[in-house]
Structures are given as C-alpha cells and as structure tokens.
Amino acid sequence: MPSKPPTTHHPGLDPAQVAAALTDAAERVCTLLESVADPSTRVAATPGWTVAELARHVAFLPDYYRGAPRGKFGWTPDAATMPQVNTRNIETLRELSPAAAGSHLRRAMADYAPQVRAATPAEQPFPAHAGALMNTVQLGAVGVGELEVHGHDLAGTLHRPWAIPPAHAAMVLRGVEPLLPRWLSDGRRRHDRTDYEIRIRGNLGTHRWRFDKGQMVIDPPGRWKPDVVLSADPSAALLVFYRRTSQWSAIARGRLLAWGPQPWKSLGLVGRFHIP
C-alpha cells in the first residue's frame, strides 16, 4: 500500500498535450466509424442511442466546443437537462451516416485543435455548463473525455479493441473538475464532511475534494488530512466515474485501492455526482 502521494499534486493542463489528445482520440473514433456496418445498432452504454446517433454526437463536438463559448450554442443550466442539449446537437447533423460523421469530425477537429493549442494562461474563463467557469484548455480536456468514453462505447458495440491512454484519462479527470460542484446528485444534501484524496497512478496527479453540507470544494485550503485516500489507475478511474465500468470490477482487479480513517466512503464517491 503506497504511503506517499505523487510528487506532483496539481499538474496543469498543457494546451499542446490536450490538442494532441483531441486529435488522436478523434482519429481513432473516425477509424471505428468507417467500419460501421449497421448504423441502427443500439449502443448499450448510451441513453438509447443508435450507432448513427452516437456518431453524430461526437462529430458535432468540435463545432459545439468552438461555438458555445461565443454564445452560438447554448449550455445546459444543470445536469438533468443535458440530454436535451445532446438531442439538439445530434439533430444538427441528422443527415450524416456514421462514415460521413467521421469525415465531419476529422475536418472540424482540424479547426478546433489548433484553437486549444493556441490558448494562453491570460485567457479569461467563460461560463459553461451550469454556469461553471472554464477555459479553453479545460473544455478541450472534457472533449477528450467525450471522445475516449464514447469511443469505448462504440468499440464495445462493434466488438473492437479500445485502449484509453493513461495521460488522456488523467487530463480528462483534471478538466472536468470545474464542473463537478455543479454536477452534485440529488443526494448532495448530506450532513457529513468527508475529504477525499484521489491519487492517479503513474504520477499523473492528485485530486483533493471536500464534501461538506451539500457543497464541494476542490483543493480546499488549510490543513489537509483526508478521510479517504484512493489510489486509481487513470483509465479505470475514468470509466468508473463515467459509469462505464463497475467499481467492484475495478477493485477486484486492483485498479482501485482505498485506505485511510474511513475507506468505506470510497464506495459512495461516484454516487455523489450526476454524470450526464
């Protein structure tokens, strides 16, 4: 059992790395879309989508992430209304087959990834989903998550392999942090105070999250003595967090390990969030 945290507590998101991850993940999704035989096949891990609908969802991602910060497309006011936003975005590309959606994704990403790469620390954050303040690089990291997780969904449906690079998973977990306090589930009005420290294996960063009286604070100031320490394989953590993999399976395979004064609270961590 590890006793020391990773040497890097809060690694930043590098614009060039996020842009490269977007391009790589998009290309791998495009390769899958080119092999689709039956666009009407249902994708089990999504809310009733067919392969064609999933293809349009991911194909519209670069357009949406470029346009929404400028007011061209609307954000969702809360996690519960995210399905309506997704339906609207899918409908925008309703005429595209999976292969055509892949071509659209490739072209659109060629415009979007350079925008992410060019982002600077001086950029002012903008309100995104549920009013969370984000910047271009954080939003790009969320986009990596969309591509990697839906690539995982699609690959499973097509019985094809899909491996999420650890660095990609780690940047997604960092990128979504500004959204998490807005994505708390209906059980958020808990009266307990619990401090979680999530150590991403491979020295890919440590997350410190405090839940107290229905609120979530990321990297709380002051003395830090976590109630739960969780050591997590990055890809397993991402898939458990997005509810694509059972936490019990990840625990059984040694990809998640918890300890500390209250290790059992690790089992309820994912349930604290409503992940759209």
For residue 141 the two structure tokens come to 């990291």
End-to-end CA distance of the chain: 33
Give the least confident one: 72-86, 159-173, 223-237: 72-86
**Please, which residues have CB within 8 angstroms of residue 74's CB and are 6 or more apart in sequence?**
68, 85
Per-residue confidence at 5, pLDDT binned at 50, 70, 90? Answer: very low
Residues 194 and 174 grouped into a single domain: no
Which stretch of DSSP H or E encloses residue 101?
Answer: helix 98-117
Instruction: Considering only residues 47 and 116, tell me which one the structure prediction assigns the higher pLDDT.
Output: 116
Q: How confident is the model at residue 170 (pLDDT cuts 50, 70, 90)?
A: very high
Res. 167: pLDDT tops 70: yes
Give the model confidence (pLDDT) of 174-204 as tens digits.
999 999 999 998 665 566 799 999 999 999 9
pLDDT confidence bin for 11, thresholds 50/70/90: low
- Give the pLDDT score at 12: 83
Mean pLDDT of 63-70: 95
Q: Could you say which of 153, 180, 207 is where a domain stops?
A: 180
Contact 58, 147 (CB under 8 A): yes
Of 129 and 9, which is predicted with more confidence?
129
Domain that holds residue 140: 15-180
Domain count along the chain: 2
Among the candidates 180, 204, 239, a domain finishes at: 180
Q: Is the same domain home to 82 and 151? A: yes
CATH classification of the domain holding 33? 1.20.120.450
The pLDDT of residue 214 is 86
Percentage of the chain modeled with pLDDT above 90: 86
Region of 254 please: left (phi>0), alpha (psi -120 to 50) or beta. left
Same domain, yes or no: 82 and 206:
no
The reply to whether 8 falls in a domain is: no
**70 and 31 share a domain?**
yes
Looking at residue 213, its pLDDT comes to: 85
Residue 7: predicted pLDDT: 40
Q: How far is CA 138 from the centre of its chain?
A: 10
Looking at residues 86-110, what average pLDDT do you find? Answer: 97
Together in a domain, 102 and 154: yes
Specify the CATH number for the domain of residue 239: 3.30.1050.10
Tokens 């060039």 sit on residue: 16
Is 130 in contact with 77 (CB distance < 8 Å)?
yes
